[in-house]
Amino acid sequence: MEFKSEYYTSWEDYVKENEIDTENEDVIKANTQPYEEMVFDFTMWLVM
């Protein structure tokens, strides 16, 4: 049951939409995706 939204970019979507240096994908993901998750968490806090 995967969460999807026009306004949420998963890491898989991010990779498709951006040119990612595959050799360094782990460190790019670790320093990019948490901010998407932070927006998601804050959004949920606002509606709970």
Three-state secondary structure string covering the chain: CCCCECCECCHHHHHHHCCCCHHHHHHHHHCCHHHHHHHHHHHHHHHC
Output 23 or 42, the one with its CB closest to another protein: 42
Site string for another protein, 3-22 (x = CB under 8 A): xxxxxx--------------
Site string for another protein, 28-47 (x = CB under 8 A): ----------xxxxxxxxxx
Kindly state whether residue 23 participates in binding another protein, applying the rule CB under 8 A.
Answer: no
